Amino acid sequence: MNSSLPSNSMPDPASWSALVSKYQTSNTWQSIWQVVNTFIPFGVVWYLMYLSLTYSYWLTLALALPAAGLLVRIFIIQHDCGHGSFFSTRQANDWLGSICGVITLTPYHYWRKSHAIHHASAGSLEDRGVGDIYTMTVKEYLQQSWWGRLKYRLYRHPLILFVFAPTFLFVVLHRIPLAESKSWKRERASVHWTNLAVALVIIGLSLTIGFQSFLLIQLPVIILAATMGTWLFYVQHQFEDTYYANDNNWDYTLAALQGSSYYQLPKVLQWFTGNIGFHHIHHLSPRIPNYRLQQCHEENPLFQQVVVLTLWTSFQSIFLSLWDEEQKKLVGFHQLQSISQAEGR
């Protein structure tokens, strides 16, 4: 895991803004080609899964893996549309993003609003949990009752965090607008319209191939894709030397280049995940289309001096669950005793 630039050598906004500006233009034909090489293969693999039900469900489950990967790629397209970077017009982005939202079970406008909050506050200790995975500080955890500690430990357990919670989020929670979003009229409406569209798709497919066949195909795809997507989102911010600061010390550039990793994945996984591994650049400039992130990274040495995670080293982040404000790093529950002793708690 490579170390990032020290805070005292961080570039000022004017310098990095000039560097990223030329990458912030979408290419309509390149975007269309990405839609073609993602949606069509997804439909083909989904149909092959249906045909495989006649032969072996093990074959169906094997096909669920590339289908889930393609579903993650569809989500990345939706993600770009939400940032207004996939097409040059907002209307085109919103139209395609809404279609993606039906397939990914994620209300487009509602998600776009909460994700914008994440980008505006990533790494802020005061705004944790808004559009991201909530992380307690060591001090906050030690002040919890036994029940509060147990709830947090359960929440951060890998099986819950990466399997049960993601599936529940996409299948159930995305169907219900949160109470605190009462003023989000358009966003709340998108939840209901997406629910209606999802229901119509399920009814249509169930009448065509049968409800049982639909579930046998779609459930493993959703579970795998939700797990993959949550893992990507988690690991790109939750690594040992990530960035957190109080609002009065919070800095956008530091949050992007120190609080977001460069996830160096094998090429095939980089393709399925739509270059989201270049997360430091994405957080620095969300208006860069996913297919230009690698070019921006490679052509600017400044953006290469960040935390680099590989597929292997990223698994070290699984058990990092607490932010230690004294050491300025994420730690695991197993380190609490030594931390408490060192600080005389």
Domain boundaries, the chain: 7-342
What percentage of the chain reaches a pLDDT higher than 90? 73
Mean confidence (pLDDT) of the chain: 91
Backbone angles phi, psi at 331, to 5 degrees: -130, 165
3-state SS, residue 250 = coil
Choice among 114-118, 125-129, 172-176, 275-279 with the minimum mean pLDDT: 125-129
Q: 129-152 burial by CB neighbour count: b if 16+ within 10 A, else e? A: ebbbeebbbbebbeeeeeeebeeb
Choose between 5 and 168: higher pLDDT. 168
Q: What is the mean pLDDT of residues 112-118?
A: 89
Cβ-based burial of 157 (10 A; exposed 0-12, middle 13-18, buried ≥19): middle
Q: What angle do CA 10, 12, 17 make, to 5 degrees?
A: 115
Question: Any idea what DSSP says for residue 176?
Answer: S
Q: What is the pLDDT of residues 273-330, one digit of tens each?
A: 999 999 999 999 999 999 999 999 999 988 888 889 999 999 989 999 999 999 999 9
Q: What is the pLDDT of residues 132-142, one digit of tens each?
A: 788 999 999 99
Given pLDDT bands bounded at 50, 70 and 90, which one contains residue 18? confident
Cβ-based burial of 224 (10 A; exposed 0-12, middle 13-18, buried ≥19): buried
CA distance 46 to 221: 9
| pLDDT (0 to 100) of residue 9 | 55
Q: Which of 345, 340, 341 is nearest to 322 (CA)?
A: 340
Q: Which of 149, 115, 130, 147 is nearest to 322 (CA)?
A: 149
CA distance 261 to 51: 40
Given pLDDT bands bounded at 50, 70 and 90, which one contains residue 127? confident
Given pLDDT bands bounded at 50, 70 and 90, which one contains residue 38? very high
Q: How many whole angstroms from its chain centre is CA 221?
A: 17
Q: What is the mean pLDDT of residues 46-72?
A: 98
Does the pLDDT at position 201 exceed 70? yes
Does the pLDDT at position 341 exceed 70? no
Given pLDDT bands bounded at 50, 70 and 90, which one contains residue 10? low
- Copy the structure tokens of residue 218: 């779609």
Q: What is the pLDDT of residues 154-181, one digit of tens each?
A: 999 999 999 999 999 999 999 998 766 7
| pLDDT (0 to 100) of residue 5 | 52
